Structure 1
Amino acid sequence: MAARGSRTVRDLRRENRASVLRALYFEGPMSRHQLGPATGLSSGSVSNVVGELLAEGLLEETGSVDSDRGRPRTLLRTAPASGHLIGVDIGETRVRVELFDLTLAELARTERPLPPEARGAYEVGALVDHVRDGIAEVLAATGMSAEALLGVGIGVPGIIEHTAGDGALVHGQTIGWDAVPLERLLRLTGQLPPQVPYFIDNGAKTLGQAEVWFGAGRGARDAVVVLFGSGVGACVVSEGSAHVRAVEWGHLTVRVRGRRCRCGALGCLEAYAGAEALLARWREAGGEPLADADEETALAAMLAAAHPADGGPGDPVAAAVLAETAEYLGAGMSDLINLFRPERILVGGWAGLQLGTRFLAEVREHAQAYALRHPARQVAIELGRLGPDAVTVGAATLPLADFFARGGRRAPAPEAPLPHPAWRASLDGRMA
């Protein structure tokens, strides 16, 4: 039976289930009475949906609260053990894999560092092996079967193109990937059953979704989340997280005929503000970055050299490079302010958190100086709250969001393709 417009009764039931799940997930625990105003559903609809979700084990009762009429009201919440998700961060220095329950409590994790010589151009087969082995390791650590997963979310550098045939293609110019069919390659490992989906997206976008859902962006209608690691990325969030899209902010030109970026162009922000470029600029200016250290350790040493903890005189070369970097970051953020007029700009990523802890005030001053006055007065520039591991949490939100959209039902197994009509086979034979 069709409902109003093109929606069916099944669509309405799915939307009602999704509304109840989201309300309890983000605002719960709640009573049935509270769910009505929170979702806009009638008491009868709430009762029906809650009954279904309790029977399926997606909700559980968790205590009670007093009511005005004297009868305690039972509180409901999403059941943590009712679903499991994996988040993967294909980063610039390591591959991190984490297993979560439905409430995104971490159950197991593993990391696989990338050798320095592999970071300029990721070897696709090796990355696929790291992801496959990492998934196997976290599942084995908990004794969980792959069939129990709601999905695997993956954050990766680059532009993601979703196709019907190969799934997600990764265009990662800075890592040497040109239309790499990552989803198809992962599926070919045979590790996951067909009904367990992969969700692949830009790492800055997954970080942004995590910060807006759970971190410093919560409650903002419009925000920009920037990610600093070896390189630089960003995502734009609008309409209260209804729309999240990655933008290649790191490849905005900040200096004509400037330094050559990893992407091959001249003068990109990433060529000045990414950790890899920042350490290179210190070396070129006469500094001495730690030899044979990973980038995180080397950047921490640079910060310590510029501003010693004991308050003594620091390395003036390191201090000058960092001060110039703060200005580049502020100028880059001014473009985000002028273009998108966000309520908040959030700084995340391991390098962003290291730099922001020391230089966020200077970055704010430069952003205010370079941006138009009116939008600059409306924006707050803050550090993200979810720490350097936020990309894996954000990656796990990709299958979680799909689970909510389906009303708490698992993704169906892919259907076998239908055979082509006879006329097509005939014409294909003529054209062969």
Structure 2
Amino acid sequence: MAGRNGRTVRDLRRGNRTAVLQRLYFDGPLSRFELGPATGLSSGSVSNVVADLIADGLVEEAGSVDSDGGRPRILLRVAPGSGHMIGVDVGETRVRIGLFDLTLTELARAERPLAQQRYEVEGIVGHVRDGITEVLAGAGVGPERLLGVGIGVPGIVERMPRLGAVVHGQTIGWDAVPLEQRLRDGSQLPDSVPYFIDNGARTLGQAEMWFGGGRGARNAIVVLFGSGVGACLVTPEVEHGRAVEWGHLTVRVRGRRCRCGALGCLEAYAGAESLLARWGEEGGTLPEGADEETALAALLAGAYPPEGGAADPVALAVLEETAEYLGAGLSDLINLFQPERILIGGWAGLRLGARLLPSVRRHAAAYALRHPAGRVTIDVGRLGPEAVTVGAAILPLADFFARGGRRAGPAAEGPAPAWHTNLAQRVAH
């Protein structure tokens, strides 16, 4: 039965379970007494929800604390072993797969290096499948215990009927790749295990907002700076974040050609791939056969040698130019969205952040409007190079919480509802 606001009793119960689970997850352990004010639920509702969650194995006791003049209060927490998630980062240099328990403790990890610029679909699919098998076997976790598999990928992700997640990765040569369908074909995972595929910038943003430098912010932007650049926008209207193709804003008319084929994109000046290319074009010496991470480390060593060494002026000039382009690109985000915080992550962002951050801040302030520029902080992300993997694992976890701690069921089989059949017939005529 639905109330005046359209919510059913089932909706209310699910919402109450979600509220209790989230408070225990982020602020626990907590007592039943503390959960009331924290969730806005009555003591009776808290008791009923907690009893259900304990019966389902999702919540467990975690000791007790003394109360004022009464019996000790039992503390409650989310049970770590009551669910498992897999997070996958399809990055520029490797595919990283992690298995996590419900409290996002990593139980096992697998990595598959990628040859430079080798994004063959079947190769990536094979790496993900093999990595899932490896981490499950390594931790002794059965696939039926998974809440889902989250995957962060480069490009735009579209969800299509029957095909699931389809990836449009123009910079890596993926044109409408039905990645979810490819992963399901021949997979060892049960059909009931859902896939959550999204842009890697969004999974990075999810991690930083839940556990990193974005906690407590209402408006934030998390930047993914790797071979290319991307960003995740989080606002009250888009509370779970939305990936934006920031790297393909035009920063220089008729400028350098970007990996996407257009001219003058930010990514053509600020991504690690273009940064290293510009260093080589200006006379820098790239380590022969080195991957991007090794080459970037060599660039930094040249620009900032050990004490007493002579700095490479070409490397310094390229890095300063990159900082200016990044600052100018951030100014666009500041003017458009007026965030409270901007966090820079990704493997290249983490490597360069300590050196370039003061210059990036200065250029961002110079190019942005004064009022929004004066209200924003720009910092390096706090979660390290595994943040995209962790954020990918959060995708099924967030869905699990939104369901009130209920697992996603398989797609319903059988005939379509009568209203659907009638509507189709009316459209046909």
Partner of 2:101: 101
Separation (CA, whole Å) in 2 of partners of 1:68 and 1:378? 43
Q: CA deviation at 1:189?
A: 2.0
Residue in structure 2 matched with residue 16 of structure 1 by the alignment: 16
Conserved 8 A contact 2:66-2:73: yes
- What SS does the aligned partner of 1:116 have? coil
The separation in 1 between residues aligned to 2:164 and 2:2, in whole angstroms, is 32
* Maintained 8 Å contact 2:206/2:240: no
Alignment of 1:105-254 (within 5 A): 105-118=105-118, 122-239=119-236, 242-254=239-251
Tell me which amino acid in the other structure corresponds to 1:198: Y
The residue identity in structure 2 corresponding to 1:245 is R
Letter of the 2:65 counterpart: V
Whether 1:371 aligns to 2:331 is no
Counterpart of 1:407 in 2: which secondary structure? coil
Contact kept? 1:207, 1:390, Cα under 8 Å: yes
Q: Deviations over 1:373-395 (max 9, x none)?
A: 00000000011000011000000
One-letter amino acid matched to 1:38: A
Q: Secondary structure at the match of 1:333?
A: helix
**Is the 1:221–1:241 Cα contact (8 Å) retained in structure 2?**
no
> How much has 1:3 moved relative to structure 2?
3.0
Letter aligned with residue 193 of structure 2: V
| Distance (Å, rounded) in 1 between the aligned partners of 2:51 and 2:117 | 56
Q: For the Cα contact (< 8 Å) 1:87–1:396, is it kept in 2?
A: yes
Alignment partners' CA distance in 1, 2:70 and 2:326: 57
Q: What is the Cα deviation at residue 417 of structure 1?
A: 5.0
- Is 1:400 matched with 2:366? no
Looking at structure 2, the residues matched to 160 and 46 of structure 1 have their Cα atoms a distance apart, in angstroms, of: 39
Q: Which residue of 2 aligns with 1:36?
A: 36
- Provide the residue aligned with 1:261 in structure 2: 258
* 2:270 is equivalent to residue 273 of structure 1: yes
How far did residue 343 of structure 1 move? 0.2
Contact 1:132 1:189 in 2 (8 A): no
| Whole-angstrom distance in 2 between the partners of 1:351 and 1:409 | 38
Q: Secondary structure at the match of 2:241?
A: strand
Kindly indicate whether residue 94 of structure 2 is the aligned counterpart of residue 86 of structure 1: no
For 1:414 and 1:64, the matched residues in 2 are separated by 42
TM-superposition CA deviations, 1:119-177 (whole Å, max 9, x none)? xxx21111111110000000010111110100000000000101122101100000101
The aligned length equals 422
CA-to-partner distance for each residue in 1:319-346, whole Å, 9 max, x for gaps?
1000110000000000010000000000
> In the alignment, residue 111 of structure 1 is paired with which amino acid?
E
Alignment-derived partner of residue 73 in structure 1: 73
Where does 1:302-381 land on structure 2 (aligned, <5 Å)? 302-381=299-378
2:410 matches 1:413 = yes
Give, as a single letter, the amino acid of the residue that structure 1 aligns with 2:134. Answer: E
Tell me the distance in 1 between the aligned counterparts of 2:359 and 2:345.
16
Runs of 4+, deviation exceeding 4 Å: none
Corresponding letter in the other structure for 2:353: G
> Matched residues in 1 for 2:138 and 2:227: separation?
30
Give the direction of change, closer, same or farther, for the CA distance of 1:126–1:34 in structure 2 (3 Å limit).
same
Secondary structure, counterpart of 2:148 in structure 1:
strand
The Cα shift of 1:267 comes to 0.5
- SS where residue 342 of structure 1 aligns? coil
Separation (CA, whole Å) in 1 of partners of 2:237 and 2:74:
30
Tell me, what secondary structure is at the counterpart of 1:366?
helix
- Aligned 8 A contact 1:221 1:240 in 2: no
Q: Could you give the per-residue CA deviations for residues 355-390 of structure 1, whole angstroms, max 9, x where no partner exists?
A: 111110110000001100000000000110000110
Partner amino acid for 2:28?
A: G
Q: Which runs of 5+ in 1 are unaligned?
A: none
- What's the % identity of the aligned pairs? 72
Taking structure 1 as reference, are residues 315 and 384 closer, same or farther at Cα in structure 2, changes over 3 Å only?
same
CA contact (8 A) 1:222 1:240 kept: no
Tell me, in whole angstroms, the C-alpha distance in 2 between the residues paired with 1:154 and 1:24.
26
Paired with 2:73 and 2:238, the residues of 1 have a C-alpha distance of 31
The root-mean-square deviation of aligned C-alpha atoms, in Å, is 1.7
Q: Contact 2:323/2:359 (CA < 8 Å) preserved in 1?
A: yes
